[in-house]
Amino acid sequence: MSAVNKIPPRVASTLLNALKGGVVPRTGLGYITVGRKDEIDALLHDVETISSGGASFRFVAGKYGAGKSFLLQTIRNYAMERGFVVVDADLSPERRLTGNKGEGLATYKELMKNLSTHTSPDGGALSLLLQKWISALKTEVMTEHRITAESGQLNELVELKIHQTINELETIVHGFDFARIISMYWRATVNEDDETKSKTLKWLRGEYPTKTEAKRELGVGAIITDNDWYEYVKLFSMFVVKAGYKGMIMMIDEMVNLFKIPATVSRQNNYEKILTIYNDVMQGKAQHLGVIMSGTLQCIEDTRRGIFSYEALKSRLENSRFSDGATRDLLAPIIRLKTLTPEEMYFLAQKLETIHAQVYKYEPKLSSDELQFFIKTEYSRVGAGQNITPREIIRDFIEILNIILQNPEKTMRGILGAEDFQYAAAESSENIHEEFKGFEI
């Protein structure tokens, strides 16, 4: 029995439904991953750098449906399996990197909501993270002092250990307030004060609207704001290591929403925020932190509205004069995705048929010749060399599997030869309908 056949039924159904709908599933990607080995290896090398105390910054660029979000989700799963904390967010008109109506803070809130670990992969792991930190400190103290969990000295010794940890954070920008909140969470845990624990979590998630309210409820005269949220991401990246994780990876998708900002000043302010984060990471000011941002080639390379319209970023990110366009440098800041080869799509089609058969309980029956005929037909379409994407092929293939399942008399060749069969619409940046631009795989 193949590995694909061993997929848990719930995961198999989720995979199939997500792919048919043109979106990226958050689980089970390892069962259908084909190609992208070089890109994955390059990003996993960054993961190793982060685990050793360094930092990294990457852009993943490609056209709509090329596999940007798929690659991000794959790395997300790999990172969590390797002991990292991952936070991710999709940008939107309401979520940007900075803004005058709290759009940057909205992105931070989304990141915290989606904070995930290997044991809590669907987000909401902030309280779990803090509890693991406390448990790790208790274990360390019991080992050092050779005492048991029932010892009356335990809480006092853990308090001392916490102060040592917090002192290291207090020297960093905003570290003093961050450390006070962490200390409050510990005391609330000891005192079984669930109300205070809830308030500290609210503060860490950036949900206090005013300093006055935070001062009244917690005695802390500072809150996380639109301007400084990234500084707290850096603090978290250091703190999670103290909780026993290897580091933090921040993923921000749908960068095209910055490209769409109509006001030039607002758009440039967001690009300036990218520059601040980029410089911070590349100059070694961040520790145990990886940043991956994803968007279309146009939203990055367009010199009128894209990231390259901000000269300071363009000079840092554009290809060197030695690049000939044919050879890729996967160690550069921008990883540009190429279309999967027909051979890779053939193997993906095999995997998809096996999953489809598992979900709908039948024996896979498409021959190798039929699969090859499907792939050749897809790639022989007018303009396919430049415009076809994995998403389109996947959706076409699943639709054909559905048709054959419900109409056993039909064949692959018969369906593809039918005049009324409609291929999935090409999704180039020039002709995609505006309302569908946010969907990625």
Q: Which domains does the chain have, with CATH numbers?
A: 1-24+340-425 (no CATH), 36-117+245-336 (3.40.50), 127-218 (no CATH)
Among the listed residues 70, 59, 77, 79, the one whose alpha carbon sits nearest the alpha carbon of residue 36: 70
Residue 228 makes CB contacts below 8 A (sequence gap 6+) with: 173, 174
Contact indicator for 19, 389 with CB cutoff of 8 Å: no
Contact in structure between 87 and 111 (CB atoms under 8 Å): yes
pLDDT score at 323: 58
How sure is the predictor about 197, in pLDDT bands with cuts at 50, 70 and 90?
Answer: very high
pLDDT tens-digit profile of 298-334? 999 999 999 999 999 999 988 765 555 566 777 789 9
CA dist 257 and 91 (Å) reads 6
* Mode of pairing for the β-strands spanning 55-61 and 85-90: unpaired
Whole-angstrom CA distances from 436 to 23, 259, 304 are 11, 15, 23
When pLDDT is cut at 50, 70 and 90, the band that residue 387 belongs to is low
Phi and psi at residue 57, to the nearest 5°: -140, 125
What DSSP string describes 247-302? -EEEEEE-THHHHT---HHHHHHHHHHHHHHHHHHHTT-S-SEEEEEEE-HHHHH-
Bridge partners (DSSP) of residue 335 are 60
Tell whether the model's pLDDT for residue 21 goes beyond 70: yes
User: Whole-angstrom distance between the N-terminal and C-terminal Cα of the chain?
Assistant: 28
Residue 33, pLDDT > 70, answer: yes
CA angle 297, 98, 101 (to 5 degrees): 125
Q: What is the pLDDT of residue 321?
A: 59
What is the token pair recorded at 320? 């060197």
- Are the beta carbons of 161 and 140 closer than 8 angstroms? yes
The dihedral formed by the CA atoms of 36, 37, 38 and 39, expressed in degrees to the nearest 10: 50
Q: What dihedral do alpha carbons 105, 108, 113, 119 form, nearest 10°?
A: -170
- Pairwise CA distance, residues 340 & 34, whole Å: 9
- Sign of the four-CA dihedral 199, 202, 206, 208: negative
User: 3-class SS at 86?
Assistant: strand
pLDDT score, position 70: 82
Please tell me the distance from the alpha carbon of residue 248 to that of residue 244, in angstroms, as a whole number: 11
Instruction: Name the residue with tokens 């206090």.
Output: 208
C-alpha to C-alpha distance for 416 and 420, rounded to whole angstroms: 9
Q: Tell me which DSSP letter residue 88 carries.
A: E
Q: Calculate helix-pair angle for 175-190, 126-145, nearest 10 degrees.
A: 70
Query: Which of 312, 235, 240, 233 has its CA nearest to residue 271?
Result: 312
Rounded Cα distance between 415 and 422, Å, is 10
* Residue-level pLDDT at 438: 44
Query: How many Å apart are CA 7 and CA 12, to the nearest integer?
Result: 6
Burial code of 1-30, b = ≥16 C-beta within 10 A, e = fewer?
A: eeebeebeeeebbbbbebbbebebbbbbbe
Span 108-160, pLDDT tens digits: 999 999 999 998 988 999 999 998 888 888 888 888 888 887 887 888 888 88
The separation between CA 351 and the C-alpha centre of its own chain, rounded to angstroms, equals 24
CB 398 within 8 A of CB 356: yes
Average pLDDT over residues 393-416: 86
Question: According to the model, what pLDDT value does residue 418 have?
Answer: 59
Confidence at residue 430, expressed as pLDDT on a 0 to 100 scale:
39
The CA angle 102-105-109, to the nearest 5 degrees, is: 135
Is the pLDDT score of 166 beyond 80? no
Over residues 172-185, the pLDDT tens digits come to 888 888 988 988 99
pLDDT digits (tens, 9 = 90+) for 40-83: 888 989 999 999 999 999 999 887 767 788 888 889 988 999 99
Radius of gyration of the chain (CA): 24
Amino acid residing at 338: K
Whether the pLDDT of residue 251 is over 90: the answer is: yes
Q: Residue holding tokens 């961050």? A: 178
pLDDT digits (tens, 9 = 90+) for 215-250: 999 999 899 999 999 999 999 999 999 888 999 999
Task: Give the full edge-to-edge strand order of the sheet including 248-253.
Answer: 85-90, 248-253, 289-295, 55-61, 334-336
Using DSSP, how many helices (H) and how many strands (E) does the chain show? 19, 5
